[in-house]
Chain A
């Protein structure tokens, strides 16, 4: 005991340079071990590095590395899921095209051939729309999204999108109305906003039965511009609200030709504009009400 105390005192008198060298040597060894550990991880596992064995001074660095690795791991899972889903969605219309073409080639019956050819065209349309949406979503979820923000008149843009979709609504004898109040200008990406409106209104048309009604309204309230899209279709069960906003998720209401990307794109556009997206029942009887609130 006495001896160690003496040693301790003796250490105090060791030259500073000597202590420094010893400490540096120890650090170097520890950092080398750590480097080796990280090196091994690149090849084998993405498990977090154990910070406890590292010198105290570099623990914050290790924590930061762990956070970075976990971010990339999440992203990589996300992308794997995305490709698996995208490949599933792309294969389906292709399977239809292949099958119907083979049918047309294997029969002499002109009626069967005609129907098969029509089906091929429908499947090609589905594929085209899907590819378009996949590209839109990829563009909007890239690491850096530079949206060209400009002053957009929501009323004019809504009227424009509605005019484009009118023929689709007419086919189902659905009444499509726009209601708007006052000067509704907001700072947004016109292209994205147009996609948002298109997807929401098209969804509404898709889910509303023949002879139904859809109302689009834009209003201003307390420093925000609010867009509502209401339909009298079957609506979505409230416990599915979160799910339908996920990529590749389809509601169960008979939506078989949809890509399951429309609402995910809408959600992403809302996020990029710091707008809130809410799903609700349109009336007590049902129907879906989508609310998008932009703060200005």
Chain B
């Protein structure tokens, strides 16, 4: 999952970038409305985390512009104003949820998962296909009820594929959802992770579609 963070406070912005990278998300961080608009127009994002009080114009304007562009990307607003009218304005302008600063990291992560789940049209927190069960909150994966230890990138790829079972995802789409700007990625990184996943979960779980990408095989 690729997240755009729009935050003008350097300490919070840097913290969100680091914390969400550790969580296995690809994160791009911008500090003003103009850069946010540019990033949003040139990249596909699965979620936006945005501060409402930005230096070059209110975050609310950005929110309105994004919604006017017919985008349905989930938006979680962060604000240090605790007035109800402020929250109401944010939600009514198009935000899906909000958190008041200071917030607990665990709560932020849970809200991100919940928003993402809703976006995917699921209300079940667990992803389950065949014998494989994946828990996005605990980062736990089981195969026939046995725990399988996965690295963070392996987990991210598996989650992405399991969210769209049977659908072919290109290498580019997978890379974009895992690596933010400035993160180095070797040309065969995805292949290496997929092959590790196959070793741990069984060969037939992920299928390579030549020149197109990968897909999670739904066993009948």
Q: Chain A residues in contact with chain B, CB under 8 A?
A: 84, 87-89, 91-100, 102-103, 106-107, 112, 115-116, 119, 122-123, 126, 250, 252, 254-257
User: Interface stretch among B102-110, B117-125, B133-141, B205-213?
Assistant: B102-110
- Residue B9 is within 8 A (CB to CB) of chain A in the complex: yes
Contacts of B55 in A (CB 8 A): 250, 252, 254-256
Q: What are 27 A-B contacts with C-beta separation under 8 Å?
A: A84-B81, A87-B80, A91-B80, A91-B100, A91-B102, A92-B12, A94-B102, A95-B9, A95-B80, A97-B102, A99-B12, A99-B103, A100-B11, A100-B15, A102-B104, A103-B15, A103-B105, A106-B22, A107-B22, A115-B18, A116-B15, A119-B11, A119-B14, A126-B11, A252-B56, A255-B55, A256-B10
If A91-B101, A99-B15 are given as contacts, then 5 extra A-B residue pairs at C-beta distance below 8 Å, sorted by A number, are A88-B53, A88-B81, A93-B11, A123-B11, A256-B10
CB distance from A93 to the nearest CB of B (A): 7
Indicate if the CB atoms of B101 and A119 lie closer than 8 Å.
no
Contact partner of A92 among B22, B31, B101, CB < 8 A?
B101
On chain A, the residues within 8 Å of B56 by CB distance are 252
By beta carbon, the residue of chain A nearest B12 is A96
Residues in A with CB closer than 8 Å to B18 are 103, 112, 115-116
B19 within 8 Å of A (CB atoms): yes
Asked if B82 lies at the interface with its beta carbon under 8 angstroms from chain A, I say yes
Residues of B within 8 A of A96 (CB): 9, 11-12, 15
Which residues of B approach A to under 8 Å, CB–CB?
A: 8-12, 14-16, 18-19, 22, 31, 53, 55-56, 80-83, 100-105
What number of A-B contacts does a CB cutoff of 8 Å give?
83
CB < 8 Å: which of B12, B14, B22, B31 contacts A95?
A: B12
Q: Which of A103, A252, A255 contacts B22 (CB 8 A)?
A: A103
B102 and A119 contact, CB distance less than 8 A: no
CA distance A106 to B53 in the complex (A): 28
Which residues of chain A have C-beta atoms less than 8 A from B14's C-beta? 100, 115, 119
Determine whether the beta carbon of A256 is less than 8 Å from that of B16.
no
Q: How far is the CA of A95 from the CA of B78 in the complex (A)?
A: 10
Give the CA-CA distance A122 to B53 in the complex, in Å: 21
Residue of B nearest to A90 (CB): B80
Within 8 Å CB of A257, what residues of B?
10
Q: Specify which chain B residues have a CB less than 8 angstroms from the CB of A119 in the assembled complex.
A: 11, 14-15
CA distance A100 to B11 in the complex (A): 8
Q: Which of A87, A89, A103, A122 contacts B19 (CB 8 A)?
A: A103
Is B81 within 8 A of A122, CB to CB? no
CB distance from B86 to the nearest CB of A (A): 9
Interchain CB contact under 8 A, B105 and A99: yes
Looking at A95, A100, A254, the one whose CB has the most chain B CB atoms below 10 A away is: A95
Q: What's the Cα separation between A102 and B80 when bound, in Å?
A: 19
Question: From residue A86, how far is it (CB to closest CB) to chain B in Å?
Answer: 11
**Complex CA–CA separation, A122 to B80 (angstroms):** 19
Least CB separation from A126: chain B residue: B11
- For A98, give the chain B residue with the smallest CB separation: B102
A88 to B14, CA, bound (A): 19
Q: Name the B residues within 8 Å of A87 (CB-CB).
A: 80-82
A236 CB to closest chain B CB (Å) equals 13
Given contacts A103-B22, A112-B18, is CB(A98)–CB(B104) below 8 Å? Answer: yes
Q: Are A99 and B19 in contact (CB under 8 A)?
A: yes
CB distance from B53 to the nearest CB of A (A): 7
A119-B19 Cα distance, complex, nearest whole Å: 13
B129 to chain A, nearest CB (A): 29
